[in-house]
Structure formats: C-alpha cells, structure tokens
Copies of this chain bind each other. A is one copy, B any other.
Amino acid sequence: MKYSIFTDDQKQAARFAKAMGHPVRMYVLELLNKQSCCYSGDLTDILPIAKSTLSQHLKELKDAGLIQGEIEGPKVKYCINRENWQQAQQLFQNFLNY
C-alpha cells in the first residue's frame, strides 16, 4: 500500500488522457466509437504510418483499457472496451463540469 496525494480517479483520468494524447490514437478511438469495430488492416490503409507503428499505438490503447482486440483468423478485430469507456465518460464529465 503506497500513499499518494492523488486520488485513484485522478490517476485513472490521467492514464486515459495520456492514451488519448496523440492524433493517431484519437483518430482510432473516434473511428471505433462511431463504427462498431474494425480490423487493424483497415486502419493501416487509412493512416499514413507504418503497420508496426500502428500496432504500437493500438497496444497503448489496449494497455490503457480503452480498446480490446479479438483474434479472428489471421486478423485482429478491435473494438472499444465499453466498460472502461463508460468509466472514462464518467471521469471526464465529472472533471470538466465542476
């Protein structure tokens, strides 16, 4: 048990914010949130970055808990992690509106 002057909510919000702090990741999140899901390859076609770079960004979003990937044959289908997304909504709403 370690002490910190920061609340868990602050730390969690910062973690989410950090993951959102890059245009590519913002783009991906927005896409996934509007559409249902999508394959990594679709993104590679759209985004002007190497596939390895995209993979890294997706990993960061996954580590932050904002998305999840499901293996589907040779592809990976990525979706928003709805549970954590809801938590992010809560946190940012509370944060921004008071």
Contacts and interface: CB of A to CB of B under 8 A. Distances in A.
Interface string A16-35: 01111111111101100110
A97 interface: yes
B89 A30 contact: no
Contacts of A14: 20-23, 25-26
A55 interface: no
How many A residues are at the interface, by size bracket?
Answer: 35 or more
A46 interface: yes
Contacts of A47: 5
11 contacts: A6-B23, A14-B21, A14-B23, A14-B26, A17-B18, A18-B18, A18-B22, A20-B21, A26-B95, A89-B96, A89-B97
Interface of A: 4-6, 10-11, 13-15, 17-27, 29-30, 33-34, 46-48, 85, 88-89, 92-93, 95-98
